[in-house]
Amino acid sequence: MRASPLSFCRANSPAARYNLGMAWKCDYCHTPIAPGAHPFTLRLELFPAVEPSLQISEQEMEASGNGQDLRELLRIMEEMSDEEVARQEKIVYFSHKFTLCPACRHTMAGALERLLPDAGQS
């Protein structure tokens, strides 16, 4: 039987990899995670609370008419180098996923707690 795309995704999910006893490596300290030790996932996402494109009012849409803004945007993007585009995209949406060993999970959890606005005031 051929594997469906869904079962392929499942087989590559962290849980499936873990159950299959596949090797894990900590993204932070680069140490192989011992079989039986539980790997952790740290997911970071940073993006605007309101999508800039959604801030355009209906009136502005009507005033700009026939896709002029879009053409202007395309022109600007064409003039940008690939690095510039990548940099701009990072400003709009940054995300990263780390697999962590239990020790690094502990370190990162402590570091993240210190980032909280009220850290150190209790």
Q: Which is nearer to Zn ion, 30 or 114 (CB)?
A: 30
Shortest distance in whole angstroms from residue 33 CB to Zn ion: 8
Q: What is the DSSP string of 69-102?
A: HHHHHHHHHHHS-HHHHHHHHHHH-EEEEEEE-H
| Backbone torsions φ then ψ of 26, nearest 5 degrees | -70, 130
Q: Which is nearer to Zn ion, 69 or 98 (CB)?
A: 98
The yes or no reply on residue 104 touching Zn ion (CB under 5 A) is yes
The yes or no reply on residue 33 touching Zn ion (CB under 5 A) is no
Shortest distance in whole angstroms from residue 100 CB to Zn ion: 6
Q: Which residues of the shown chain bind Zn ion in the complex (CB under 5 A)? A: 26, 28-29, 101, 104
